[in-house]
Amino acid sequence: MPEADVVYSDLNFDNSQRNGGRDGASSAPESHYASVKVAKTQSKSQRAYQNVQTRKKLKNLKAELKALKANGICWKCDFGWELDGESCYKFSTRYSTWEESKSLCGYLNSDLVKIDSLDKQTFLERRLRDKMAFPEDKFWIGLTDSKSEGQWLWGDGSPLNASLTFWGRGEPDNWSGEDGKVGEDCVRMGEKDGAHDLRCWFDKACDAKQKYICETAAQRGRQSCTYF
């Protein structure tokens, strides 16, 4: 496929504030860029529609960032965590069982990730493509039916929303081939080559060793906010 067109939109926000000095100096405007790719293989009507949607998204983004900047509010994560929305995520590099992973997240004042929105699943699925070293190098999430078979609960005890699930094909299957007894009561996620339909949840024996994803609330800060 040929290289996609890239459109850059320059979003300028005037952060000028009087510093209380005699010269009335103000800080220079900051520029923020949004890159949007539109495949050249699209038809003219598709490109036109895509451009309209892109302009709407950029307009909304500009309004949101302007509001945040005016209030001096931003969201931040500790070093080693990744920000998305108002949450911070840590993708482990070590392998541990589901229970061990949950405890390790607890030590970091967090929990195994709870996926309760399409946006969150989209973010995680895309990030794992680069973080998985091989196809079976999947990551634990905070979902289990270990208390009652078929009753899937998140780590905080809340039930899985049946209308918001991302099971892979044929999952969950509670396969007992690995130990012949326990079955598969915990959930891991990820597709090394990408899951374009976002369906990449797989049940697995809870004592299997996998990497994991911790989640915690982002820190609310003021001033010196950096937007990407």
- Quick one: pLDDT at residue 64? 65
Q: Which residue in the block uniquely carries the two structure tokens 């004042």? A: 109
- Quick one: pLDDT at residue 118? 97
Other C-beta atoms closer than 10 Å to the C-beta of 142 total 24
* Tens-digit pLDDT profile for residues 209-225: 999 999 999 998 765 55
Report, as an integer, the average pLDDT of 41-48. 71
Three-class SS state of 115: coil
Statement: the pTM of the whole predicted model exceeds 0.75? no
Q: Which of 78-87, 204-213, 214-223 has the lowest mean pLDDT?
A: 214-223
Bridge-based pairing state of the strands 139-144 and 211-217: parallel
8 Å CB contact between 109 and 216? yes
Question: Which of the four pLDDT bands, split at 50, 70 and 90, describes residue 48?
Answer: confident
**Rounded distance, CA 171 to CA 55, Å?**
39
**Rounded distance, CA 217 to CA 76, Å?**
9
Query: All domains of the chain, ordered by start, with CATH?
Result: 5-71 (no CATH), 82-217 (3.10.100.10)
Q: What one-letter code names the amino acid at 44?
A: K
